[in-house]
Chain A
C-alpha cells in the first residue's frame, strides 16, 4: 500500500499518495497549474518551465510536473514573482520562432496561444528572432511546420512511449534545436512512421497538423491519445 502524505498547496491542506508530483496533487484537488510540455500519460521532461512553483525552504523555483510532493511540503503556485517568470518563459517561446496566428491553421485552438491569454499577455517585450525555418510537407497526410514548433517534445514522447515507433528526436542544442524524423530525414521518408497521427494530436501548436486544413480549422484531441493508457493504469 502506498503511503498517504499531507501537503499544503496555496495554504490549503491536502492528503496525497506518496510519489505523486506537485502538479498531480494540485490537479487531483481541482487546482490547475499552467503547463505546456507536460501531457498526462507521457513522461515529463520539465523543459518548458511554465509550471514552476515556490516550495517553502527551497531557494529556487521547482517544476511542479517533475517534483514529487513530500510530506509536510508547503507549495505556492501563484505569486507576482511566479506570474512574472511564467510570462517571461512564454515570451521566450513566442520570440524564438515565427508565430503568426492570423494565418495559422491552429489559430483559436492552440495551447500556446491560449496560455498567453490565460497568463494575461498583451504584447511581447523582447525583440523577435524571425528565423528562417523550413516546412516539411513530405508526409502524405501530415505537415511539420518548424515555424510553430516550441520544442516541447510531446511528439517525441508519444511516438516513443505510446506508439512505440520512435520516429522523432530533437537534434542540436539551445536555439539551434530542431525536431527531426529518424536521422534527419524528410518525414515522408521515415520508414518507422506508422502514420498513426498521435504526434499530430498531442502537439500543442500548429507545428504538427493534418494536410488540407485552412486557417483556424485544425482542432486536436490531445488527451484521446493518452487517456486510455492512463485509465488502464499503464501510465500516470
Chain B
C-alpha cells in the first residue's frame, strides 16, 4: 500500500502555523513514517502535484495568486484542511479589510518610503479587496483553530487524517 501523500501550503499568514508544525518535534518522525511529503515550503517541489491525499493550508486568501493556488490545491487534493485562524477567519491578515486598498498602499509605499514614492505595479500579485477565509472560495474539509494551532493539536489532526479518520474539532476555542 502506498503512503498517503501530504502537502502543506502557506498563503497569507505569518508562517507561525508552519512553525507550530515544526514544534511537533519528534512527532515529525511519526508523521514522516505515515506519509510522503510531496509539497511544502519545506521541500523543493516547484509545482503543486496531482493526487494529494491531505493538504494543510496556512493563511487567508489575499491576492489573485493565493486564489489561483488554493483553487489548484482543491482540484488536486482529497482532504483540504484550513490550518489556523487566518485561514479560518482571516484573523490578523484581515485587519486591513476595513481600509481602502489605496490608503494602505499610500501608507506603505508613499508615506513609508524615502526613495521612489510610487505604488509597485510589476512582479507583485494583485491584492484582493479583502483577505478572505479559505472556505469562501473552496470547499474546506476541516478547520483547525488557533493562532497558531498548538503543536499537539496539529500532530493529533495529522495522525488522525493519515490514519484515515476525520477528527471532530467542535468545542475547541474559536477565534
A residues at B contact (CB < 8 Å)? 94, 98-103, 107-108, 113, 116-118, 120-125, 127-128, 130-133
Residue of A99, A101, A107, A133 most packed against chain B (CB within 10 A): A101
- Contact residues in B for A128 (Cβ distance below 8 Å): 89-90, 94, 97, 130, 132-133
How far in angstroms is the closest Cβ of chain A from B161? Answer: 15
Residue of A101, A113, A123 most packed against chain B (CB within 10 A): A123
How far in angstroms is the closest Cβ of chain B from A170? Answer: 21
B102 lies within 8 A of chain A by Cβ: no
Do the beta carbons of B174 and A98 come within 8 Å of each other? no
Do the beta carbons of B147 and A102 come within 8 Å of each other? yes
A103 in complex: contacting residue of B92, B132, B135, B143, CB < 8 Å: B92
Do the beta carbons of B174 and A130 come within 8 Å of each other? no
Q: In the complex the two chains form, what is the Cα distance from A34 to B143 in whole Å?
A: 24
A123 in complex: contacting residue of B99, B135, B173, CB < 8 Å: B135
How far in angstroms is the closest Cβ of chain A from B132? Answer: 8
- With A117-B174, A120-B171 as given contacts, are A100 and B98 in contact (CB-CB < 8 Å)? no
How far in angstroms is the closest Cβ of chain A from B91? Answer: 6
- With A101-B85, A102-B147, A130-B97 as given contacts, are A121 and B90 in contact (CB-CB < 8 Å)? no
Ranked nearest first, the 5 interchain pairs of A and B with the lowest CB-CB distance are: A120-B170, A101-B175, A116-B174, A130-B97, A102-B147
Do the beta carbons of B91 and A100 come within 8 Å of each other? yes
Minimal Cβ-Cβ distance residue in A for B171: A120
How far in angstroms is the closest Cβ of chain B from A121? Answer: 5
How far in angstroms is the closest Cβ of chain A from B79? Answer: 15
B145 lies within 8 A of chain A by Cβ: yes
Q: Mark B61-85, 1 if CB is under 8 A from A, else 0.
A: 0000000000000000000001001
Minimal Cβ-Cβ distance residue in A for B134: A123
Do the beta carbons of B94 and A100 come within 8 Å of each other? yes
B residues at A contact (CB < 8 Å)? 82, 85, 88-92, 94-95, 97-99, 130, 132-133, 135-136, 140, 143, 145, 147, 169-175
- With A117-B171, A122-B170, A123-B82 as given contacts, are A102 and B98 in contact (CB-CB < 8 Å)? no
How far in angstroms is the closest Cβ of chain A from B94? Answer: 7
How far in angstroms is the closest Cβ of chain B from A158? Answer: 25
- With A102-B85, A121-B174 as given contacts, are A130 and B143 in contact (CB-CB < 8 Å)? no
Minimal Cβ-Cβ distance residue in B for A122: B143
- Contact residues in A for B171 (Cβ distance below 8 Å): 117-118, 120
Do the beta carbons of B89 and A123 come within 8 Å of each other? yes
How far in angstroms is the closest Cβ of chain A from B89? Answer: 7
Q: In the complex the two chains form, what is the Cα distance from A123 to B88 in whole Å?
A: 6
Do the beta carbons of B140 and A100 come within 8 Å of each other? no
How far in angstroms is the closest Cβ of chain A from B84? Answer: 10
- Contact residues in A for B136 (Cβ distance below 8 Å): 127
How far in angstroms is the closest Cβ of chain B from A19? Answer: 35
- Contact residues in B for A100 (Cβ distance below 8 Å): 89, 91-92, 94-95, 175
- With A100-B92, A102-B91, A103-B92 as given contacts, are A122 and B98 in contact (CB-CB < 8 Å)? no
- Contact residues in A for B145 (Cβ distance below 8 Å): 122
- Contact residues in B for A127 (Cβ distance below 8 Å): 132, 136
Do the beta carbons of B170 and A132 come within 8 Å of each other? no
Minimal Cβ-Cβ distance residue in B for A127: B136
Minimal Cβ-Cβ distance residue in B for A102: B147
How far in angstroms is the closest Cβ of chain B from A177? Answer: 17
- Contact residues in A for B147 (Cβ distance below 8 Å): 101-102
- Contact residues in B for A117 (Cβ distance below 8 Å): 171-174
Do the beta carbons of A113 and B173 come within 8 Å of each other? yes
Do the beta carbons of B130 and A130 come within 8 Å of each other? yes
